[in-house]
Amino acid sequence: MRRGWLAILLLLSGCSTMGPQPEPVDPGLAWEAHEQQLHTIDHWNLHGRLGVRTDHRADSLSLNWSRAMADHQINLFGIFGSGQTRITLNQHGAILEDAQQNKFTAQTIAELLRQQGGWEVPFEPLQYWIIGLPAPGPRDQFELDSIGRLKRLVQSGWEITFIEYTQVGDLMLPKRLWIEALPGTVSLVDAEGRDLGDTLNFQVVVGQWRDTP
């Protein structure tokens, strides 16, 4: 009998320490609330690393990206040889200034990078993907994780995998992203017009988010 009472006491003790179990999360409903929060972000300052890989080369760059409404400033260290490259975008267009203080202009950042280095960078949608949002327009595939954050997205010829998130104030923002061009999306050439193939992927690792709501 003593053993029976002991077993009952142990069972009751285990139940009392477990406490109430958390309610299961509906990923769809959680995403709706999370998406509304993300749409309030119109300024940020992020520091991190950008890895770029093609069929013929691989580069690792430091990245500092500031946004204030429609104005962007991106500082890259290690692109186009060495030194710092500064890219700005405002209502008047885009400007690239290299380490030798040469300046180049175009209407968009994507056009600038294509002209100067042969890079095909989807900058317009990237400013949405970087905070964990799909860009406006059709989505070919859309997948959420178990707590309602964007996990995988296929859009505009690119596949984006959201590998890791980090807490920034009241928000969960991406910390690591993998962005890959699907076959046929890009056709790369260098400054001399030589074919660099059609493989292009980026890895973004955000070390710090600042100045977000």
Q: Do 185 and 198 contact (CB within 8 A), yes or no?
A: yes
When mean pLDDT is compared over 24-33, 59-68, 159-168, the highest value belongs to 159-168
Whole-number average pLDDT of the chain: 85
Q: Are 153 and 160 in contact (CB under 8 A)?
A: yes
Q: What is the pLDDT of residue 86?
A: 93
What's the DSSP call for residue 3? Answer: H
Distance CA 110, CA 191 (A): 15
Q: Return the closest-CA partner of residue 33 out of 184, 174, 170, 201.
A: 170
pLDDT tens digit sequence for 72-104: 999 998 765 567 889 999 999 999 998 888 999
One-letter amino acid of 180: E
Domain 26-210 adopts which CATH fold? outer membrane lipoprotein receptor (LolB), chain A (2.50.20)
Q: Is it the case that residue 155 has pLDDT exceeding 60?
A: yes
Average pLDDT over residues 158-180: 96
pLDDT value, residue 153: 98
Mean pLDDT lowest among 19-33, 47-61, 65-79: 19-33
pLDDT of residue 44: 94
